[in-house]
């Protein structure tokens, strides 16, 4: 199904095997997303103005905002996703002033292309190894439960990058690993192209 609207609900029955994918094809600006237990929908959203085109099928939801260039959204978007569903989230063409709280939900994967500025990501304990990838992060905070290990790698350079309060040096090919991290066990791999004023920390 496809609609163009500011308010949308997607039926819970649309998910397959309790997994779903949420894709933003044209970037996202001024958005909050929270996992909600017992929501009754796969997605319930107030998507701001101008409203995007939203389509969904077989557990994949696509949200495509009209291109605004340097302009900001007139009103922020507020999304609730079902906490009992495991989510893959993909953001193309950048993210600006975005708050994502997946407490109570399992994040399968987060992929950001086009860079992110002003992103806050709150994670819960993963059931298996999970991956977060972004080509650029600026003024970003990633929080996870205190007992969840993390591996952070930066491929093209970092400035003021902190992992659990420890500052990571400048340069390419930087790696930070917290105690207990094993790529075969539950934990988060955070792979970043460029990071500036970014923190990966325990809740």
pLDDT value of residue 3: 63
| Segment 59-84, tens digit of pLDDT | 999 999 876 554 455 678 999 999 99
Domain assignments of the chain as residue spans, ordered by start: 1-114, 126-203
Over residues 23-71, the pLDDT tens digits come to: 999 899 999 999 999 999 999 999 877 778 899 999 999 999 876 554 4
Give the per-residue pLDDT at 117.
Answer: 97
What was the pLDDT predicted at 16? Answer: 83
- State mean pLDDT over 159-174: 86
Residues 6+ apart with CB under 8 A from 188: 123, 126, 129, 130, 131, 132, 144, 148, 149, 150, 151
pLDDT of 121 reads 98
For residue 18, CA distances in Å to 57, 106, 134 come to 14, 10, 25
Task: Kindly report the pTM of this predicted structure.
Answer: 0.94
Mean per-residue pLDDT over the chain, rounded: 92
Q: Mean pLDDT lowest for which of 10-14, 71-75, 136-140, 152-156?
A: 71-75
Q: How many of the other CB atoms lie within 10 Å of CB of 70?
A: 4
For 84-139, how does the pLDDT look when each residue is reduced to its tens digit (9 = 90+)? 999 999 999 999 999 999 999 999 999 999 999 999 999 999 999 999 999 999 99
């Amino acid at each position: 199904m496809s609609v163009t609207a500011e308010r949308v609900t997607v039926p819970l029955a649309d998910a397959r095997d309790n997994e779903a994918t949420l894709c933003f094809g044209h970037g996202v600006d001024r958005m909050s997303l929270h996992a909600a237990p017992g929501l009754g929908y796969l997605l319930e959203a107030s998507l701001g103005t101008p409203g995007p085109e939203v389509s969904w099928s077989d557990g994949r939801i696509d949200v495509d905002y009209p291109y605004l260039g340097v302009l900001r959204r007139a009103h922020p978007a507020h999304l609730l996703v079902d906490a009992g569903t495991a989510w893959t989230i993909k953001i193309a063409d950048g993210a600006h002033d975005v708050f994502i709280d997946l407490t109570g939900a399992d994040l399968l994967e987060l992929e950001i292309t086009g860079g992110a500025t002003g992103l806050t990501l709150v994670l819960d304990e993963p059931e298996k190894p999970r991956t977060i990838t972004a080509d650029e992060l600026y003024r970003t905070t990633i929080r996870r439960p205190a007992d969840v290990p993390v591996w952070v790698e930066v491929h093209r350079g970092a400035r003021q990058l902190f992992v659990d309060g420890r500052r990571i040096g400048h340069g390419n090919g930087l790696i930070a690993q917290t105690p207990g991290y094993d790529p075969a066990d539950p934990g988060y791999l955070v792979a970043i192209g460029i990071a500036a004023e970014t923190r990966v920390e325990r809740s």
